[in-house]
Each structure stands twice: as C-alpha cells, then as structure tokens.
Structure 1
C-alpha cells in the first residue's frame, strides 16, 4: 500500500507531538507497561472499505502483540448497534476503542462513558462533532477529497455548463457532509445553486444509489455531472445512467480508491476516483493504542492520511496518478 513504511513513521512522529503525559486511569486495561487491548467498531462488517480497514487493524495488532476485538453496526447508520458495541468493550476492559462512527453525533454519549473509564478513543475515517468527543481522529480530509472530486469534474466538463446530481451518504455523517461541501467548492457552486438539479441520500449503498438516481433522473435527465459519495454509490448511479443511455454523456468521479473502483475507472464507468488509505488509518490507530498501553500517552487532534486522484484522463491543474499506479496501491480484492 501507498508509502506504508514512510507514512507510518511520519504519522507516529505527528502522533507523538500530539501526545500528553496523561496518566490518570479510571478503568479499562492497565495503560502503562501492559498489553494493548483494542476494540474496533466499524460502521458495518459488509462494506469492502470497512472490511479492509478491519483486516489491516487486525494485522497491525497481531504484529504489535496487541489483543484485538472487532464489532460493527448491522448497517450504515446503525447508531444503536455501535452504542452496544462500545458498551460491550467497556465491559470487556479494553484499553483503546477505535471507531468509525455511523453518525458524527450519534454515539457521543457512549464514547464519553468510555473515556470516563480511562479508555483511549480514536475516531478512524469519520470525525465526530464536536471533534473533542474523541481523543484523536485519524482520517482522510474528506472536504479536500470532495474538493478534488469536484475540481476534476469541473475540468472534465470543459465548456459544458454544470447540471449536477448530488448522491450523498448517510444523513448526519461528517464524511458525507464534508465530501458534499468539498465537491461543491471544487465545482465552484454554492449550496442551493440552480445548477444542482437534485440531491438524495443513499447511505453509501449501491442499490439505494441506483434507486435514488433513477428517481432524480425521472424528474430531469438533463444532467452533465454527478457527485457520488463513494464507489458503491457510483456503481449504482452508473447503472441508472446506463439504463437511460446517459452514461457516456455524464462526468462522474467518486471517492474511495478500492480496487473495484480503480477497475471502474479503467473500464470507463467513472472518469476518476479519489483514493484514500484505510491501511494508514488502521496502522496509526493501532500504533497509538499500543503506545498508550505502554506509556499512558494519548494522541490528540486530527491526522490527514491523504487522498490521491486516480485517472487515465488527467486534467490540467488537477494532480493525479494513472490507473496503473492505482492498481498497485488500491485496497480490497484485486
């Protein structure tokens, strides 16, 4: 994966600068000189992105001699399931919880209870609101990823006017919100601009995205660009566009950088995807958890794990890498 050794070393240096010598401990596994006991809570255990993140975290924990337990919500948006997982981890006495929150606010009370017992809490992939609901966040800068997506789409449109559909993720998710806002910034559009012909939430799900796009296209098929929150969403939208004979006319980029998404760029289903790096999130989260168990130090703040545009149709002014590079660095099954 992309720059694994370098990124981990750099990331650890950054973590160290954000660490404090907090030694107060109210519960959970002993943080000083002990074995890290890590609980990972993902949004689902079916989305390939979170499957890969979990596998990377488990491998990193095994390599560092840490105990590792993984739980997940039953579906994207299952806040209650994630709350139950957090409470389970509190009872099991984990020393660190790594979590990809379904909602930026939906699990905050449970996270507060975990932190009150002395458990280190790190958000991966998805930031909480407020940010200090967790000790630290390790994630893609989702606004920047959305901005890159939007800037690429704008450049690819050339002289054609933007007539845009916005296929977002889960309502209340900071990932979806930031990517939405970033895309509009990259396109040079304001929220509510007349160029936005329709918006719907699809919870990152391919079937829901196809259905939502079909509903929007039934109202207006005069579309030149689509924002898709992630690659499963893009696959659903592509099916909807294809059924109306519009797939070749609409500029669609996405965000994720999974191997399936890179293959979709190669085949022309989407023009570009913005790759993110779940392996970095998992590695840095586990490293912080192990350091916390060893010394009691806690990381703080936000760490951006980076994003890269992948396309074989590069646009002036938009830094990118070709599909061949993406195939070497993508995550998930090849």
Structure 2
C-alpha cells in the first residue's frame, strides 16, 4: 500500500448513482462554456465530486468553475448520489471517456473506483485526484490534496498540549466502517501520532477499548471509533453511540467539521457540551465560526479551492503540451497546505486565530 507523504507507519484503522450536472459546460442545449477559448482547442474536463451537500465539495466546485472560466476550459461538474457511492463515480468516469473528455478531476470514494481511473488513463485521459489520494497513489496522474497526516498531526499535537497529561477518554469519529480510504487513514494516524500514542497496535477494528499512555505519561482510552459518512447527522448518531459505550469521553476527534457539528449536538442533548473538547479538520467558514464559538476547540484548515484551481490548470496545460507540476518524495502528490486554527494557542504548537482563519476560509 502506497502512503501519502508523512504517513509512514502502518496501523489498521477502522475502515474506514445518479448524476447531477451542475457545471459550466455539459453536452446538449443550455450548456455554458467557461472562458473565451474556442472550438476544438478548448480543454474538456469533468469534475467528479462525492456529493453536492458537503460544503467542502461545493467550495471545490466553485473554485474549479472560476479557474475554468479563466483558462478557457469546458468544465462539467457531476456527483454521485452520496459520499461513498463508488459505482456512481465509476459510471461518471466511463461517461466522461465516452464524451471524449481530455481530463477527469475526481475525489475518489474508495478503491473500487481504481479500475475505472486506470482504464480512463489507458485511453489517453488525464486523471487527477483532488483531496482524496487514491491507493495506490499512482492510480492518478497526480493528486492535489492536503497532507492529511500533517493535518491530523496538528490537531493531535494541540490536543496533547491541551490535555496536559490529564486522563484522555477519546472518541474517534471517522468517515466509513466498510472501507478504508487514504484520507481517513492518514488523518487518524496523524492525530494519534500527534497525541503521542503508539501507532503499532492502536485503533484496531472492534469495540474493545484501547488504552495506554500518551505524551509525557498521561493515560488514554480510545472509547469508540464510529462512522459518520462525513455528515452532521452521521456525526450526531456516532457521538450518541459513543456515549452509550462510555459516558466519560472528554476528547472527540472528528474526520471533518460537519461531523463535529453533529457530535456537538449530541453532547448538548446529553448536557455534556462543556465537559468535552472537540477537534476536527476542514477550515470552512462555518467551521472557523464554530471554533470562535467554542463548538470546536481547534481545526486544521485545508484549501479545496486551491486544489481545484491547480487541477483545472494542470489539465489545461497538459492539453497545451505542458508537463504536470513537479511533485515531491517520488510520489504523484502535490501538498496544498494546512494550518491549525484555534483561539486557545498552546506552547510549541504553531497555530493561527479564528480572526486570521476567517480571512482564508472557504
């Protein structure tokens, strides 16, 4: 299994079709071309999202549309029915190939999509992954994404400093329970390493709580690991399930901010919102606002608009005969950056305030 940068130590994490066209250009009447380039010289690109509800994906789509207009790219934006709908994405890849698209931008929902991505590349289509690195990572020509291990590590380091060796009873709210995707795995690994938790035998599947020491000798218990599908209602259900297993949870790690918002509602309903610290990853404007309100204590901000801009431009440049951007570590991975946002700064952990984070949120 090829890992993205920084995710070098293996653990076994809890594992982790309809079409809706919303893009700037689709075949048929009523389609709108982006930019001013004309005729057959215009690059044709399909962006395949996981869903159209998550604000991260809609921000990414908006960024792609703006860049397409700038570069003269004919862009079609489609999505599967829901996050995790691998067959829906496979259908969209096959459709894009049949339509003669030059490139596909995709946030792959899982390993079942790999074959369709490889088949598209074999037919001369440039396939670029955004946000979610495929496994193996060379399934795509290049990936533009957050270093998810680093994003997880940042909130883990902040959590370790914040907990200050006090007993930590941890709930881990992930994406899926029926599959493992690199985004989840790397964020989980990063969080645990940042906390100072041994990755060799922790976060195994099953309900058995894992215990040990973290940081400078604090004790921890991983009380639960529950799927959320990255949605608010999933986060609430996952948190409710965790509380049935352990009422002493005082630290909640969530895969993204919608699931964090749902977890907070479950804690509110149980009267525990002031006794539990939530950390997350995303950096949306709504998420940054929740950090300022104390709903989330700290979040690692990522930059979906930048991912989209880089992806659209890379395909436009490829059609024009230019090379794809240079990558590091010998992997087809381009790190789009991350920053920790919190109003409760901890010594030794680099962070920015919500005031600064709100200026660059999405």
Is 1:50 matched up with 2:57?
Answer: yes
Q: Could you tell me which residue of structure 1 aligns to residue 185 of structure 2? A: 177
Classify the secondary structure of the residue corresponding to 2:252: strand
Given that 1:223 and 1:250 are in contact with CA atoms closer than 8 Å, whether structure 2 keeps it comes out as: yes
Q: Could you tell me which residue of structure 2 aligns to residue 156 of structure 1? A: 162
1:327: Cα distance to partner?
1.0
- Once structures 1 and 2 are overlaid, which stretch shifts more, 273-282 or 184-193? 184-193
Given that 1:156 and 1:251 are in contact with CA atoms closer than 8 Å, whether structure 2 keeps it comes out as: no
Q: Could you tell me which residue of structure 1 aligns to residue 23 of structure 2? A: none
The match for 2:295 among 250, 253, 269 is 269
Q: Could you tell me which residue of structure 1 aligns to residue 339 of structure 2? A: 308
Taking the aligned partners of 2:322 and 2:42, their CA distance within structure 1 comes to 12
Q: Note the alpha carbon deviations across 1:204-233, whole angstroms, 9 max, x for none.
A: 011111111101101211112111000001
Taking the aligned partners of 2:268 and 2:77, their CA distance within structure 1 comes to 38
Gaps of 5+ in 1: 1-32
Taking the aligned partners of 1:296 and 1:94, their CA distance within structure 2 comes to 17
Classify the secondary structure of the residue corresponding to 1:218: helix
Given that 1:35 and 1:294 are in contact with CA atoms closer than 8 Å, whether structure 2 keeps it comes out as: no
1:296: Cα distance to partner?
5.5
Is 1:200 matched up with 2:200?
Answer: no
Given that 1:157 and 1:251 are in contact with CA atoms closer than 8 Å, whether structure 2 keeps it comes out as: no
- Residues 1-334 of structure 1 aligned to structure 2 (within 5 Å): 34-103=41-110, 105-170=111-176, 171-190=179-198, 191-192=202-203, 193-194=210-211, 195-295=221-321, 297-299=323-325, 301-331=332-362
Taking the aligned partners of 2:295 and 2:322, their CA distance within structure 1 comes to 48
Classify the secondary structure of the residue corresponding to 1:227: strand
Q: Greater relative contact order (Cα 8 A, min sep 6): structure 1 or 2?
A: 1
Taking the aligned partners of 2:67 and 2:296, their CA distance within structure 1 comes to 32
How does the TM-score come out when normalised to structure 2? 0.80
Given that 2:171 and 2:222 are in contact with CA atoms closer than 8 Å, whether structure 1 keeps it comes out as: yes
- Point out the structure with the larger helix share: 1
Gaps of 5+ in 2: 1-39, 204-209, 212-220
How many residues are matched? 298
Q: Note the alpha carbon deviations across 1:302-331, whole angstroms, 9 max, x for none.
A: 111011011111111111111111111100
Taking the aligned partners of 1:44 and 1:324, their CA distance within structure 2 comes to 29
How does the TM-score come out when normalised to structure 1? 0.87
Taking the aligned partners of 1:49 and 1:297, their CA distance within structure 2 comes to 28
